[in-house]
Amino acid sequence: MNGKEWRQMMKIVVLDGYALNPGDLSWKGFEEFGEVIVYDRTSFTDKKEIIERIGDAEAILTNKTPIDEEVLAAVPQLKYIGVVATGYNVVDIEAARKRNIPVTNIPAYGTAAVAQFTLALLLEIVNQVGVHNDSVHQGDWQRSVDFTYQKTPLMELQNKTLGLIGYGEIAQATAAIAHAFNMKVIYWNHRPKEPQASWAQQVSIEELYRQADIISLHVPQTAETQEMINQETIHQMKDGVVLLNTARGGLLDEAAVAEALNKGKIIGAGVDVVSKEPMADNNPLLKAKNCIITPHIAWRPLETRERLMGIAVDNFAAFIAGEEQNVVNKRD
């Protein structure tokens, strides 16, 4: 069957399109290949709803809606699964492989945005721009007898040591920005990896915990990395360390991090991800001291989402052409 025939009959269902496209992008790239049905959100837990919405579609796109063995068994006509994110743990890729269904993802689309956001969290922690802006708007400067004042301690980044846990593209982009601030850069990776420049140094994880003034997480969430930041590892860190997480919420034992923040072992944390999203009311980080929390937005600049959409369309176009692009469950 050629590409033209595919386009005439393809039915594509987007299960949870709102996160990628809240209305400022277009699905037109996929409409070139057939009928596109877009749902803003689909239940993460109601498999009946997931199966009903897939219906007789031959291709689906998902961000966070889980596609497991049970779902796949109920939609035997399915031929393609596109994950519109880098992480693809929402799909049972082995079950898909058994059915000859390629699963694609979107690698490296948000490198610049996430690195930028990581430094934004750090700058907010050390400069406290938001706190002082609020203070001025509340009248504190107008009532001040001095031309300047500060509400919190402030910190200079020059000569501070940034420790990167993980050394992929986002970590290296973060390192380059940190270097521009005249910070020292050390990193740990699960396997040895050449530094991007002479100013970056690979160290053991234990040495990183001992040396780093700021620790930033850039690893996937796996069985090995789950809650890797816990009471034991926090104890190895410098007193007054800053912690940043723009990777995955499950990397933190959130109760241990909250305790360390409240005791001052960690003087500030910036997190864009938490263990359960949307965030639970009882998440201990909500009441922890000096913890900046943002709602998983590091990847959300318009330019970044445009890039993501473009890669998603290209992945699908390659599939239609009988080629493979960003397939994560290739047959051996």
Does residue 257 sit in the same domain as residue 174?
yes
Does residue 126 sit in the same domain as residue 232?
yes
Q: What is the mean pLDDT of residues 290-304?
A: 98
Q: Are 95 and 46 in contact (CB under 8 A)?
A: no
Task: Give the model's confidence band at 4: pLDDT under 50 very low, under 70 low, under 90 confident, else very high.
Answer: low
Does residue 105 sit in the same domain as residue 118?
no
Distance, CA of 217 to CA of 215 (rounded, Å): 7
**Do the domain assignments include residue 325?**
no
**Do the domain assignments include residue 327?**
no
331 given a catalytic annotation: no
**Do the domain assignments include residue 326?**
no
CATH code at 103? 3.40.50.720
pLDDT of 87 reads 87
**Do the domain assignments include residue 243?**
yes
Q: Are 162 and 212 in contact (CB under 8 A)?
A: yes
Does residue 136 sit in the same domain as residue 257?
yes
Active-site residue, selected from the candidate residues 248, 300, 305, 307? 248
pLDDT of 48 reads 98
Active-site residue, selected from the candidate residues 97, 132, 179, 296? 296
Cα 317-6-87 angle, rounded to 5 deg: 40
210 given a catalytic annotation: no
Cβ partners under 8 Å of residue 33, min gap 6 = 6, 7, 10, 12, 59, 316, 317, 320
**Do the domain assignments include residue 174?**
yes
CA dihedral 166, 171, 176, 182 (to 10 degrees): -60
Active-site residue, selected from the candidate residues 156, 277, 323, 324? 277
DSSP 229: B
pLDDT of 268 reads 98
Residue type, 139: G
277 given a catalytic annotation: yes
Does residue 67 sit in the same domain as residue 132?
no
Q: What is the mean pLDDT of residues 69-75?
A: 98
Does residue 151 sit in the same domain as residue 275?
yes
Does residue 170 sit in the same domain as residue 228?
yes
**Do the domain assignments include residue 328?**
no
Range of the domain at 54: 3-109+301-320
pTM: 0.92
pLDDT tens-digit series, residues 131-173: 999 999 999 999 999 999 999 999 999 999 999 999 999 999 9
pLDDT of 290 reads 98
pLDDT tens-digit series, residues 201-231: 999 999 999 999 999 999 988 899 999 999 9
Does residue 178 sit in the same domain as residue 250?
yes
Q: Decide if pLDDT at 3 tops 70.
A: no
Work out how many domains the chain is built from and give that number: 2
